[in-house]
Homo-oligomer: A and B are copies of this chain.
């Protein structure tokens, strides 16, 4: 599967790009159903509009049929059908004639990015508005405009989806991504497609050490709803996890810590990026902006870190129509997938190891060591001896890798060989 998983993920993103996702509504359901066709175990769940989740209330469902602005000549100069970013998310219905000056108060554009349609929403206060490129806006001529938004708010539901893949242990690794942005690619489609590809890969594992809980939720309100319904289980079971977002372009890698900043998830994320993308950008908790805000909030305190490609809020195309399928790529998605897969593999393999003998083992008699001592020959076996020297029942594989300056994944083979030869034994898994 994996050799072309980048291409596969890019295909999913292409299929889902036109869908008009929002916090609630048909677009979210269509997206979740698409993923369910790939992972049948995905359970699609809902809470009703008005549902109270901690300090928040689930908003009404928003439906939009059509939306446009016609000029004096009756031409649709802006049409929601052409790009679902043209309408402010959660716009209330309108059908009005306005002159250009009045209209301007309902228009959003970006003077510094004149070709981009900005992405604007107003979930919790009733508003309406249109978004358009600055270049188009500048060409609007004085005159009468007819604005129409055929939308409505209805008592409906907020949808989210969940997969639980059981493992040897009931302790959980938590993966979360979000499905609430209309046609944008790095933020957001890269997130759910990489998450679903990881779920596919996890399903193929013969044996999972841990249970995986994987969710796709609308950002903020969705994660708050999810936490409110599962707080106790999450707090009891989740010992590591990642929020998966902005993971599809092929530029830099980025890391954003959990609030506490030195959880296993953080250490694993840093280890992977240090060894595979040494120039990665390291953000601080103060730079956060996605669902780690909820998962790591006081009282919730889940140990989630974030591995990204170009971080939300930091790349110029963010939250505009330029964040499209040209920005992400099969290679970019594949790179993000690989980094997260490496991270999860480290946690799966993070055994605490102990030498079965006092002093150094005699590797020569097991065929694991050169039998003649000439100047330099000792170096060959040094990596293995360094490894063993920290197998004292107090260091995990990750900690040993850090101590001896090797990536964890280059120690898997040595570990297996030494376990087979009974030079080492597993004391425990480290969490």
Mark A residues whose CB is within 8 Å of B: 53-57, 88, 108, 110, 118-125, 127, 220, 223-224, 227-228, 231, 259, 285-286, 288-289, 293-294, 296-301, 318-320, 354-355, 357-362, 364-365, 371-375, 378, 382, 385-386, 388-393, 404-405
Contacts and interface: CB of A to CB of B under 8 A. Distances in A.
B55 A359 contact: yes
Nearest to A112: B375
Contact of A373 (B121, B296, B390): B121
Given A122-B373, A404-B286, A301 B56 contact: no
B392 A285 contact: no
B125 A358 contact: no
17 contacts: A53-B359, A54-B358, A55-B358, A55-B361, A55-B362, A56-B362, A88-B372, A110-B375, A124-B371, A288-B389, A293-B359, A293-B360, A293-B385, A296-B389, A298-B355, A298-B391, A298-B392
A404 to B, nearest CB: 6
**Total copies of this chain within the assembly:** 3
B299 A124 contact: no
A349 to B, nearest CB: 20
Closest A-B pairs by Cβ, 6 of them: A298-B392, A125-B371, A55-B357, A299-B358, A294-B359, A298-B355
B365 A124 contact: yes
A361 B293 CA distance: 11
Contacts of A374: 108, 118, 120
A55 B357 CA distance: 6
Nearest to A118: B375
Contacts of A365: 124
Contacts of A378: 289
A342 B110 CA distance: 43
Contacts of A362: 55-57, 124
Given A54-B357, A294-B359, A297-B358, A285 B372 contact: no
A389 B285 contact: yes
Nearest to A289: B378
Given A120-B373, A231-B358, A298-B355, 10 more contacts: A55-B359, A110-B375, A259-B390, A286-B404, A293-B385, A294-B359, A294-B360, A297-B358, A297-B360, A298-B354
